[in-house]
Amino acid sequence: MIQSSSSPFLQYAETVRTEIDEALDRYTLYDDDCPSVLRDAIRHSLLAAGKRLRPLLVLMATEACGSQRQRAMAAACAVEMVHTYSLIHDDLPSMDDDDLRRGQPSCHVKYGEAIAILAGDALLAQAFETIAAGIQPPEVAVRCCHELSRAAGASAMVGGQVDDLQAALAAGNPDDLERIHRRKTGAMFRVSLRLGALVAEADDSMLAALDDFGRKLGLAFQIIDDLLDVRGDEGSLGKSTGKDAEQGKMTFPALLGEAESRQLAEQLIRQAQEALTPLDSGATNLQSLAWYVLERNH
C-alpha cells in the first residue's frame, strides 16, 4: 500500500540531508594544489541546494539493513559526486544545453565550458577516492568501487545518456524509452541502494529486495521528471522546463499521454514499496521516500 509521507519522516530526511551537505562541504575544501576556480566550480554545482535523493537512498538502505548510516556516508557522498558530475556534463551546450540547474546558472554558464568539463571530471575521479578512503573493510570498498564504476559506465549511465541524445532525433516506443532510463537514471538509483546494503554487509535477499526497489523507483522518478518538465515551473523545479518538447525528446508523456504516465508512475511506486516487504519495519523510511518521490514538486 502507498503510505502517506508523515512529518516525522520529513524531519528525519531533513536531518540526514544536513549531514550529507556537511560531509560534501568537508570533501571539497581541497589543498593548495587545487586551483581556486576549479574548487569554486565544483562547490558551485555540488553544494547547490539539491534533493540529495541518491545519497539519501544510500544511507536509508544502510539503516534498513541494520547498520549506522555514518558508516556509509563516504559512499553516499560518492554517489552524489557522480550524479553532480553527470548533471554538469549533461548541461553542456553540446549535450542538453541547459542554462539553469538547482536554481542557479549551470556550471558552464558561470565558469565556462573548459572549467565545467574539468570540474565534472574531477568529481568523477573523487567519487572513487572518497569510497577508497572512507569505506571499510577493503573487500566492501572494492565492491562499492566496482559497482559504482559499472553504474556510471559505458553500459549504464553514460550509455543511457548517449542513447537519450540520439533518441531526440528518432521515433521510439515505451520499451526503447525504458531501456534508456534503466541505464541513464535507473542504474544510479539501483547502485545507491546496493552500496548502502553492501556497507551494512546485508545478505543477498536484502540486497535483491533493495535492488528491485531501486529499479522501480528509478523508473517512476524518471516518468515523474518527464511530467514535471511538461507542467513544472522553473522557479520551484530549479531547472529549465519545456526543454524535452522543444528538443523533440522521447518522453513518457509524449509516448503515453500525461494521464497514463501518471498511472504508470503510481503503479511502479506501489511495486517498489512491495519489493521492500522482506525488510519489514526497517524499510519504513524508504517506503516514505518512495511516496515523496511520487508527490514531489521539485
In angstroms, what is the minimal distance from the CB of 298 to its own copies?
A: 27
In angstroms, what is the minimal distance from the CB of 158 to its own copies?
A: 4
In angstroms, what is the minimal distance from the CB of 153 to its own copies?
A: 4
In the complex with its own copies, which residue's Cβ is closer, 97 or 260? 97
Identify any residues that bridge with 169 across adjacent strands, giving them in sequence order: none
In the complex with its own copies, which residue's Cβ is closer, 17 or 89? 89
In the complex with its own copies, which residue's Cβ is closer, 33 or 204? 33
In the complex with its own copies, which residue's Cβ is closer, 99 or 139? 139
In angstroms, what is the minimal distance from the CB of 102 to its own copies?
A: 20
Site residues (vs its own copies, CB under 8 A): 30-31, 33-35, 37-39, 42, 85, 89, 92, 94-95, 112-115, 117-118, 120-122, 124-129, 131-133, 137-139, 141-143, 145-146, 148-150, 152-156, 158-159, 161-163, 165-166, 183
In angstroms, what is the minimal distance from the CB of 87 to its own copies?
A: 12
In angstroms, what is the minimal distance from the CB of 127 to its own copies?
A: 8
In the complex with its own copies, which residue's Cβ is closer, 146 or 231? 146
In the complex with its own copies, which residue's Cβ is closer, 196 or 232? 196
Burial (0-12, 13-18, 19+ Cβ within 10 Å), 62 = buried
